[in-house]
Structures are given as structure tokens and as C-alpha cells.
């Protein structure tokens, strides 16, 4: 999966990939004070593509709000909401909305799920539908945080650790391997990293083509940018 | 530029208005004092309602001028540029009222560059005034900074106000206004020291909007007719008319997506709007999600008691569920028609439905063309529809077309702390109809290519503008007639128009107004053709598009059908690079608005960084 941290105040964005075996569960957001947990499980391609590249994507998200007693499981097939012992299932094939006292869900058919947990967090899960007969690829999900300002300063996770910003400086831009993607040195969290200018795509407004977002790419699973390394975020279960 | 090695030594905004038609030229010159070439940015915010007409860059004695071309043809050039990794696309949305034109060029060491951008627009009268807005942000102290406006209004200037959002008490005396009967001159030229944020520092105070607001005298019931060089324009907004009572149904979206601030602001605005109803108005309230509810099943007179009861109802509106726009509008039309049949309200009253919604219909009829058809059929020209599109996710084009198909208009309400004020402001614009079914007549044998000359209503504080081309220069019998319905009786005025001698009206001026009326006519015609392109039948759409394109090219207007192609100079590192200035459509603006302000990027395609941080994970 491709991670993107857009920082409008710095007029720039950071990005990195996390690659691991399909089936791995990663913690994306954890805020113990607010009682919020977001985990995602990766899936791979149906089979290894001829170029030998093993791609992984998120195929399942588990979202918990302990205070509200809400538990949400989003897969590429459906969305299951549990609250106070009651369970509801929504299908991606329907446009639907569900409104509770503290939880709003809005499903746009075959496209997106917007979740608002009152006074806490708002996010969108994008469904990427892949042609069923595609020899290698299969449906997968994207996770976009829309509003996280109410989360506590201790919020962490692969995305959550950036919710309150990150300071960095880029210097010494130089030609990279690819003439369109220069390299540079980034000073972040007390370390000097070699980063590469590139693009990743934001699919919120155009789920088919996405919109290219220029960003500084941090190599090696985001090492040096994320706290610890990516294996520290591996979880044993979705909830 | 932030680079202090590039000195911006001159910024001049010169605006000339003749009878509401504004022609603005922005000129900026810079010098690269460095020993190496530097990138210089030229960024200008211009009103959404304006059309760019010209752009040029003068670099080392050579001038590069923009050329207006058919959009499709320009796009081919653009695509070629994009495919070779070059940048393109000069215009982006910028805030609520403006769009941003930006271009950058590499300037050789010790060289000058001068950018000149020209745009034109017909100023619209809203709430009794015209507004000229200029956004200035020079980023550094400028040796010669000047905003100058000359306004020529043959009807006479009733009042004029000029101020800047960035103007402190110290800068206020620098705004010079000279207003005589038919002419106004406004200038603002701070010296470098006066521009400084503080003594000795380099920061500039000049950062914000410079606004000029004015109105003209309105003595004649017939309005003002100007004839210049074979074209005429008629400004109609008679003084001292009593208001016409109105029948209004407010249709309020209370679906789930309205939750939180939007619902709260809607309730707040409705409370004020209800207070502003006149006692002779009749009103109704329909609220909807996937269920349609009414306050009362029929229109109610706006007595103090009824308004007070309605306010109680408004306070109970809660958000929930899906969005059934079709059902809600059908219900509103039904209430209005029943009332008409029962002849409860005055025969001469004006009927309108005001829809406030934030979203796409997803319950009941969800096909937007079908809703438009249903609404048009149901309203049958008997009432007007005004739509307020709340927030960023609303399908504004759908509302815009539907309003115009029913003799109304749509307005976007931006999410923000002032949404309540925006809602109230819009209501104020349409709250007081003065006339209905306004028909403006001109001699058939003397005019052609007339712009729209029938209007469903005239609202207090607005103005009807009709322009046309004269087929005959003999103006002995240019009879103008206006027929409309007033509150008590029919409004009928007739009068003879004659050509004005502009060189006599403004003898000390050089003859600068030669083609202003013609361009005003062209601007208005193109705007109306573009509107018909969205709302007309298939045949009308085709004809309107072809005609609007032809006129846009003829008059060199950058409209949604044309683009301006600018060729940048070739440098050592880069190939010749065509750039495209487009007129954004509302959909394009909406998309850009969601993504936030423009940020120049170091590498790659243009992308607008969102205004708030975004964190996501996805595939590629």
C-alpha cells in the first residue's frame, strides 16, 4: 500500500510504501485516549504478475470506537456495523446511509464509504473495483482521513502519528535515477534520509484515474520517517 | 516571487468602466538582478464573472501574446504539451468569487519581464450596488504600485465607496476618490515606505481585496438607453416601485448529510428569513429527507402569529435519512398550485420556490435529468425556482440548470462560519420582487441580435440589462416600451431613445468608449448563449454552442468554449512550451475548491494541495 501525508502548511507531501506478505494486519490509527483503533489487512494479487512484482493492497479494515461501542468491518464485499450488540450489513452494490446518534455512514454505490464518528474522526474508504476477469489484480480498498483534529496528541499508528504534523526540511536536490524524479536529502526526526520526488494518486474525486499528488518518497518502508520500523505496527487481529 | 534577487518594480491595476462594462488591465514588471536566470511567477486573481481577453509577456524586448482559440483545438496542443512532460493550465479556482491566472517564466540574468493581463466583465447590480473587486498580493515592496479606476456613468453616480481589506488607518488617506456627476476617479498609490509592514522591514501591507462599490442615479421609469456605434444597451431598474407580494415555499433538505453545522446554520438563517417576510406575503415550508413533511398543507399568510409558529417549526428540524429532491419539489409545487386554484393569495403576486440542499438525490427519483424534466413540467412556467447548493459535495450544475429552466437562479453556499449570512444575503436579493413578467420592446425593424428581453421578475436592488444591434442608423423613431405587472396595476412605460454623444458627455477624455457597448452586447449575448447551451432543447443547445463559440473567437473572450494559448519563450533547458488559459466551468471550480488553493509544484503535473492536511493509504 502507498501511504500519503499531505501537509498544506508546508505546501508539500510525504509518501512511502509498506510492503510485506499478503495477509499482514497493520495498525493505521490508535488513539487510546479517544478509544479509536483502525487496523488494515493486506491482500495480494490473484497470482504473481509476469514482471515478478508482488503488490499488496488493503483488502479489509477494522475500525473500533470503544467509547461509542462501535465496531466496523469493511471488506471489498460488504460493510458490517456493530453497535451495542446490534449488527447491520451494508452492501457496496447499494447507495445507502445509516444514521445513528453518534455514527453516520454514507455508502455511495460501488465507490466509497464515508464514516463520521461524532466528535471524533471522519474518514472515507474507497472501493477500487477491478475487472472480475483480470488475470492478476482483484478489488482493494483505500483509507482517507478527512478530519482527525479531535484526536488526542498521543494518537499513533502508521497514519495516526502524522495527524498532528511532522517537521521536515528538504535540501540538496540532485538528479536521480529517473530524470523525472530528482533525489534530495530530507532532515526529519533527527535523521538524514535520501528521498525521491515522485507522485502518488489520490482517488477521492476520481476513483478511476485518481489525481497525481507530487510528494517526497521515503524509501525502505518509510524507515526513518515512521517511528520505529513497519514491523512494529503488525497486529495479530483486525480488532 | 519570494526571491529577493528578482525585483518587482511596478504593479499597476487599471480599470475603466463605461456604463457598467469594466475593462481591467493588470501590468507587472520585474527585473532579475541575479547573475543567473530566475523563475518569475505572475499570479492574478480575477472575478469568476470576467472573461480574459488578452495576455502578453514582454521579455528582453520580445513580446509573447496569447491567442484565443477554440477550446478543442487548444486542447490538442495542450495534450501534446502534457505528453512531453510540459506543464499547462493557467487558470485555477481561487476562493468564492475569483479565479487565479498564473504563469511562470525563466528570466535571464539582468533582464526585465513585463506581464499584461486584460479581462472584461459586465458589473451586475446586487442589493443596489455594483462592485469592482481587485485582489492584490505583490509579495514584496514595489517601487511603483498603483490601483486606478475610472468610472464613466452617463446616468450619474449616486454614491461611491472605495476601500481595501488591507487598508489601515495610515493607508486610508491614500485612497483618493474624485466623484463628479457622471465620472469617478479612484486611485491608490502607496510609496514603498507606505507599503512597509513596519519601518525598516521588507514585509508588505498590500495583501487583500480592493473594492469599489457604487450605484447610479435612477430618475427615469423607462431606465437608461445608450446607443453607441450601432449598438444599444438598455438598463432597466426604475425607482420608487412598491414591492409585489410573493408566495414562497421554502424546501429544506434535512437529510443525514446536512447534520451538524449545515443544519444549524440553515435553522439560524430560516429564523431570520421568516422574520423578514412581509405581512402580505404567503409562505409554506417543506422539509425532506426520504420522507417529505410540510409545516402546513397550504400557503399561510405571513402574519406575526403565523411567522412565530413557523419559527417554532423550524427549530424542530432535525437531520436524518436519504435525499428525495424530486418528491420535495413536487410537494412544493402542489402546495403552490392548490393555492392558486383556491385563489387565496393576490392574483398579481409572484410565486417562487426556494430549495436548499447539500446533496445528490438518492431517494425517490434519483436521475437528475428526470427530476429536471418533472420539475419543469410541474412548474409549467407558473413560478420560479431558486436553488441554494450548500457545501462542497453538492451537484451544483444540476441545481443551476434546474433553476434556469424555471426562470430562477442557483447560488452556491460555501461551508464556513458565515454560511448563515450567505443564506440570508441570497434571500434578500430575491425577497422583494418589484415587477413580474417584464417585457421590453424595441422596434423590430431597427434592432436585431437582441439579448433576452423577457424577465420573469425584477427584484429590488437588481437591474435588467438588454442589448442589441441596430440595423438602421436613423434613430428618429427608436421607441422603447416596457410592459410588466405591478402589485396593483400593470406597469407600462414608453419613451424615445437617442444616441448619446460620449465625446460631449466626457469632452476632456480621448474617445475611449468606441467599442464598449458592442463588447457589452457581445459579453451579454455569450453569457446567455452559454446558459441556453445548458438548458435548451437539443437543437437550441447545438445552435447556442456554435454561436457562442463564434462570438467568443470574434471578440477574443476566453469563455468555457475557448482557450487562450500562450507560447512561452524557449530557453536553454526547455523546449518551446504552450500554456493554456481556460475559463473554468462551475464543475471544474467545485472540484478545485474541494482540493484547495493553488500551490506551485516543483515537479510534475499541477496538483492543488487540500486546505487541510490529508492522510491516506491506497493502491496505485
Tell me the pLDDT tens digit for each residue of A1-22.
999 998 877 778 999 999 889 9
3-class DSSP state of B422: helix
CB B581 within 8 A of CB B558: yes
Q: Which chain A residues are closer than 8 Å to B617 by Cβ?
A: 1-4, 28, 40, 58, 142-143, 158-159
pLDDT tens digit sequence for A81-123: 998 888 888 999 888 888 877 888 989 888 899 999 877 788 9
Please state, in angstroms and as integers, the Cα–Cα distance from residue B468 to each residue in B121, B443, B495, following that order.
17, 11, 17
CB A2 within 8 A of CB A42: no
CB contact under 8 A, B599 and A211: no
CB B53 within 8 A of CB B172: no
pLDDT band of residue B113 (cuts 50, 70, 90) is very high
CB A117 within 8 A of CB A99: no
CB contact under 8 A, B610 and A99: no
3-class DSSP state of B493: strand
Contacts of B305 (CB under 8 A, 6+ apart): none
Task: Write out the H or E segment, with its range, that includes residue B116.
Answer: strand B112-122
Interior CA angle at B288 toward A98 and B325, to 5°? 95
* CB-based contacts of B272-276 (< 8 A; 24+ apart in sequence): B272/B420, B272/B424, B273/B423, B273/B424, B273/B427, B273/B431, B274/B302, B274/B307, B274/B310, B274/B311, B274/B314, B275/B307, B275/B311, B276/B424, B276/B427, B276/B428, B276/B431
Cell of B210: 480592493
Please state, in angstroms and rounded to a whole number, the distance separating the CA atoms of residues B423 and B262: 11
Q: State yes or no: pLDDT of B593 exceeds 60.
A: no
Average pLDDT over residues B480-485: 93
Q: State yes or no: pLDDT of A159 exceeds 60.
A: yes
Please state, in angstroms and as integers, the Cα–Cα distance from residue B60 to each residue in A154, A169, B65, B106, following that order.
56, 36, 14, 11
Task: Write out the H or E segment, with its range, that includes residue B589.
Answer: helix B586-595
Question: Quick one: what percent of chain A has pLDDT higher than 90?
Answer: 51
Average pLDDT over residues B236-243: 92
Average pLDDT over residues B193-221: 89
Contacts of B343 (CB under 8 A, 6+ apart): none
Please state, in angstroms and rounded to a whole number, the distance separating the CA atoms of residues A186 and B58: 38
CB B111 within 8 A of CB B39: no
Instruction: Count CA atoms closer than 13 A to B372's CA, side-chain side.
Output: 19
Cell of B119: 479581462
Please state, in angstroms and rounded to a whole number, the distance separating the CA atoms of residues B257 and A96: 12
Q: State yes or no: pLDDT of A160 exceeds 50.
A: yes
Please state, in angstroms and rounded to a whole number, the distance separating the CA atoms of residues B478 and B193: 56
Q: Which residue of A has its CA nearest to B323?
A: A97
Cell of B537: 432543447
CB contact under 8 A, A142 and B259: no
Task: Write out the H or E segment, with its range, that includes residue B272.
Answer: helix B261-275
Q: Which residues pair with B578 in a beta bridge?
A: B567
Most trustworthy range by pLDDT among B18-32, B493-507, B563-577: B18-32
pLDDT tens digit sequence for B126-149: 999 999 999 888 888 999 999 999
Give the gap in angstroms from C-alpha B39 to the nearest C-alpha of chain A: 17
Give the gap in angstroms from C-alpha B263 to the nearest C-alpha of chain A: 15
Residue in B383, B384, B432, B387 with CA at minimum distance from that of residue B276: B432
Q: Which residue of B has its CA nearest to A39?
A: B617
Contact with chain A for residue B256, Cβ under 8 A: yes
CB contact under 8 A, A211 and B362: no
Strand arrangement, sheet containing B577-582: B67-70, B562-568, B577-582
Residue B347, pLDDT score: 75
Q: Which residues pair with B45 in a beta bridge?
A: B100, B135
Residue in B458, B421, B266, B235 with CA at minimum distance from that of residue B354: B266
CB contact under 8 A, A214 and B362: no
Q: Which chain A residues are closer than 8 Å to B618 by Cβ?
A: 1-2, 4, 126, 128, 142-144, 200-203, 210
Please state, in angstroms and rounded to a whole number, the distance separating the CA atoms of residues A103 and A117: 5
Contacts of A100 (CB under 8 A, 6+ apart): A83
Q: Which chain B residues are closer than 8 Å to A199 by Cβ?
A: 604-605
Residues constituting chain B: 620
Q: State yes or no: pLDDT of B599 exceeds 60.
A: no
pLDDT averaged over chain A?
89
Please state, in angstroms and rounded to a whole number, the distance separating the CA atoms of residues B450 and B444: 10
Residue B590, pLDDT score: 63
Give the gap in angstroms from C-alpha B319 to the nearest C-alpha of chain A: 9
Nearest to A7 among B613, B616, B620 (CB): B613
Residue in B579, B576, B569 with CA at minimum distance from that of residue B58: B569
Please state, in angstroms and rounded to a whole number, the distance separating the CA atoms of residues A107 and A95: 5
3-class DSSP state of B441: strand
Please state, in angstroms and rounded to a whole number, the distance separating the CA atoms of residues A56 and A20: 7
Residue B575, pLDDT score: 55
Query: DSSP string of B382-416?
Result: SSEEEEEEESSSS-HHHHHHHHHHTT--EEEE-SS
Alpha helices in B36-148 (DSSP H): 71-83
pLDDT band of residue B85 (cuts 50, 70, 90) is very low
Q: State yes or no: pLDDT of B24 exceeds 70.
A: yes
pLDDT tens digit sequence for B524-550: 999 999 999 888 888 888 899 999 999
Q: Which residue of B has its CA nearest to A206?
A: B591
CB A71 within 8 A of CB A16: no
Look at B580 and B525; give whichever has higher pLDDT. B525
Query: DSSP string of A75-109?
Result: ESSEEEEEETTEEEEEETTS-EEEE-SSEEEEEET
Question: Quick one: what percent of chain B has pLDDT higher than 70?
Answer: 88
3-class DSSP state of B570: coil
pLDDT band of residue B598 (cuts 50, 70, 90) is very low
Cell of B540: 437550441
CB pairs under 8 A between A and B: 124
Among A9-13, A231-235, B609-613, which is the least confidently predicted range? Answer: B609-613
Q: State yes or no: pLDDT of B314 exceeds 90.
A: yes
Residue A134, pLDDT score: 75
pLDDT band of residue B508 (cuts 50, 70, 90) is low
Residue B603, pLDDT score: 33
Q: State yes or no: pLDDT of A223 exceeds 90.
A: yes
Residue in B300, B276, B272 with CA at minimum distance from that of residue B286: B300
Look at B91 and B218; give whichever has higher pLDDT. B218
Residue B403, pLDDT score: 95
Q: State yes or no: pLDDT of A179 exceeds 60.
A: yes
Cell of B535: 438548458
Parallel/antiparallel/unpaired status of strands B410-413 and B384-390: parallel
Residue B105, pLDDT score: 83
Please state, in angstroms and rounded to a whole number, the distance separating the CA atoms of residues B553 and B558: 8
Q: Which residues pair with B294 in a beta bridge?
A: B286
Q: State yes or no: pLDDT of A196 exceeds 50.
A: yes
Q: Cβ of A112: how many Cβ atoms within 10 Å?
A: 18
φ/ψ of residue B27, rounded to 5: -120, 130
φ/ψ of residue B306, rounded to 5: -65, -40
Average pLDDT over residues B587-600: 49
Q: State yes or no: pLDDT of B87 exceeds 50.
A: no
Residue B512, pLDDT score: 57
Q: Which residues pair with B228 in a beta bridge?
A: B231
Amino acid at each position: 500500500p502507498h501511504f500519503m501525508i499531505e501537509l498544506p502548511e508546508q505546501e508539500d507531501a510525504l509518501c512511502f510504501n509498506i510492503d510485506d506478505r499478503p495477509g499482514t494486519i497493520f495498525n493505521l490509527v490508535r488513539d487510546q485516549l479517544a478509544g479509536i483503533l483502525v487496523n488494515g489487512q493486506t491482500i495480494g494479487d490473484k497470482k504473481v504478475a509476469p514482471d515478478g512484482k508482488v503488490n499488496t493492497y488493503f483488502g479489509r479494515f477494522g475500525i473500533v470506537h470503544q467509547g461509542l461501542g462501535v465496531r466496523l468491518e469493511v471488506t471489498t464485499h460488504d460493510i458490517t456495523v456493530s453497535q451495542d450488540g446490534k449488527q447491520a450489513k451494508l452492501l457496496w452494490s447499494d447507495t445507502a446511509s445509516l444514521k445513528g446518534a453518534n455514527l453516520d455512514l454514507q455508502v455511495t454505490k460501488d465507490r466509497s464509504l464515508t464514516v463520521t464518528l461524532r466528535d471524533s474522526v471522519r474518514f472515507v474508504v474507497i472501493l477500487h473495483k477491478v475487472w472480475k476477469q483480470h488475470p492478476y489484480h482483484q478489488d482493494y480498498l483505500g483509507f482517507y482521513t478527512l478530519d482527525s483534529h479531535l484526536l488526542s496528541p498521543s494518537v499513533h499508528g502508521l497514519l495516526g502519528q502524522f495527524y498532528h504534523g511532522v517537521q521536515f526540511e528538504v535540501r540538496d536536490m540532485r538528479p536521480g535515477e529517473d530524470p523525472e524524479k530528482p533525489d534530495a536529502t530530507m532532515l526529519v526526526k533527527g535523521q538524514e534520509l535520501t528521498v525521491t520526488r515522485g507522485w502518488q494518486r489520490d482517488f477521492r474525486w476520481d476513483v478511476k484515474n485518481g489525481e497525481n499528488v507530487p510528494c517526497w518518497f521515503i524509501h525502505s518502508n518509510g524507515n526513518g520517517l515512521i517511528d520505529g520500523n513497519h514491523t512494529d505496527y503488525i497486529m495479530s487481529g483486525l480488532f | 516571487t519570494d526571491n529577493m534577487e528578482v525585483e518587482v518594480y511596478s504593479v499597476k491595476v487599471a480599470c475603466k468602466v463605461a456604463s457598467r462594462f469594466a475593462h481591467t488591465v493588470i501590468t507587472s514588471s520585474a527585473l532579475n538582478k541575479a547573475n543567473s536566470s530566475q523563475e518569475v511567477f505572475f499570479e492574478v486573481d480575477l472575478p469568476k464573472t470576467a472573461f480574459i481577453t488578452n495576455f502578453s509577456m514582454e521579455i528582453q524586448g520580445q513580446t509573447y501574446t496569447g491567442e484565443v482559440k477554440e477550446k478543442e483545438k487548444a486542447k490538442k496542443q495542450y495534450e501534446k504539451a502534457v505528453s512531453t512532460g510540459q506543464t499547462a493550465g493557467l487558470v485555477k479556482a481561487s476562493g468564492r468569487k475569483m479565479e487565479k491566472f498564473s504563469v511562470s517564466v525563466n528570466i535571464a540574468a539582468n533582464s526585465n519581464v513585463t506581464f499584461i493581463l486584460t479581462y472584461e466583465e459586465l458589473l451586475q447590480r446586487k442589493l443596489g450596488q455594483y462592485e469592482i473587486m481587485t485582489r492584490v498580493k505583490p509579495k514584496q515592496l514595489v517601487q511603483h504600485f498603483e490601483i486606478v479606476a475610472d468610472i464613466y456613468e452617463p446616468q450619474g453616480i449616486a454614491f461611491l465607496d472605495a476601500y481595501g481589506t488591507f487598508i489601515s488607518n495610515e493607508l486610508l488617506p491614500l485612497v483618493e476618490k474624485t466623484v463628479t456627476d457622471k465620472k469617478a476617479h479612484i486611485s491608490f498609490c502607496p510609496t514603498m515606505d507606505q507599503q512597509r509592514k513596519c519601518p525598516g522591514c521588507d514585509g508588505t501591507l498590500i495583501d487583500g481585496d480592493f473594492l469599489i462599490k457604487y450605484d447610479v442615479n435612477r430618475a427615469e421609469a423607462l431606465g437608461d438607453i445608450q446607443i453607441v456605434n450601432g449598438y444599444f444597451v438598455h438598463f432597466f431598474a426604475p425607482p420608487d416601485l412598491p414591492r409585489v407580494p410573493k408566495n414562497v415555499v421554502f424546501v429544506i433538505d434535512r437529510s443525514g448529510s446536512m447534520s451538524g453545522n449545515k443544519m444549524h446554520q440553515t435553522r439560524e438563517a430560516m429564523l431570520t428569513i421568516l422574520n423578514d417576510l412581509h405581512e402580505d406575503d404567503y409562505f409554506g415550508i417543506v422539509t425532506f429527507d426520504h420522507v417529505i413533511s410540510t409545516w402546513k398543507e397550504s400557503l399561510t399568510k405571513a402574519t406575526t402569529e403565523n411567522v412565530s409558529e413557523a419559527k417554532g417549526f423550524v427549530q424542530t428540524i432535525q437531520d436524518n435519512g436519504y435525499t428525495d429532491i424530486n418528491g420535495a419539489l413536487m410537494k412544493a409545487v402542489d402546495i403552490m398550485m392548490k393555492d392558486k386554484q383556491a385563489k387565496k393569495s393576490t392574483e398579481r403576486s409572484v410565486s417562487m420556490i426556494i430549495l436548499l440542499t447539500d446533496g445528490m438525490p438518492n431517494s425517490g427519483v434519483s436521475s437528475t435529468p428526470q427530476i429536471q424534466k418533472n420539475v419543469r413540467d410541474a412548474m409549467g412556467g407558473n413560478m420560479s425556482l431558486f436553488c441554494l447548493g450548500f457545501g462542497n459535495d453538492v451537484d451544483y450544475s444540476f441545481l443551476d440548470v434546474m433553476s434556469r429552466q424555471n426562470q430562477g437562479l442557483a447560488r452556491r453556499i460555501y461551508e464556513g462560519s458565515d454560511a448563515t449570512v450567505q443564506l440570508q444575503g441570497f434571500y434578500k436579493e430575491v425577497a422583494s420582487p418589484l415587477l413580474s413578467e417584464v417585457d421590453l420592446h424595441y422596434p423590430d425593424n431597427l434592432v436585431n441580435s437582441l439579448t433576452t428581453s423577457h424577465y420573469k421578475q425584477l427584484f429590488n436592488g437588481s437591474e435588467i440589462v438588454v442589448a442589441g444591434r441596430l440595423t438602421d442608423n436613423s434613430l428618429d423613431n427608436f421607441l422603447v416600451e416596457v410592459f410588466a405587472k405591478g402589485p396593483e396595476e400593470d406597469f407600462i412605460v414608453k419613451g424615445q431613445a437617442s444616441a448619446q454623444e460620449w465625446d460631449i458627455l466626457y469632452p476632456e477624455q480621448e474617445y475611449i468608449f468606441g467599442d464598449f457597448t458592442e463588447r457589452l452586447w457581445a459579453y451579454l449575448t455569450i453569457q446567455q448563449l452559454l446558459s441556453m447551451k445548458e438548458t435548451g432543447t437539443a437543437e437550441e443547445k447545438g445552435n447556442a454552442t456554435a454561436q457562442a463559440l463564434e462570438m467568443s473567437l470574434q471578440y477574443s473572450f476566453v469563455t468555457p468554449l475557448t482557450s487562450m494559448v500562450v507560447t512561452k519563450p524557449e530557453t536553454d533547458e526547455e523546449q518551446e512550451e504552450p500554456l493554456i488559459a481556460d475559463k473554468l466551468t462551475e464543475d471544474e471550480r467545485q472540484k478545485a475548491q474541494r482540493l484547495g488553493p493553488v500551490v506551485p509544484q516543483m515537479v510534475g503535473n499541477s496538483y492543488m494541495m487540500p486546505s487541510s492536511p490529508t492522510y491516506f493509504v491506497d493502491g496505485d
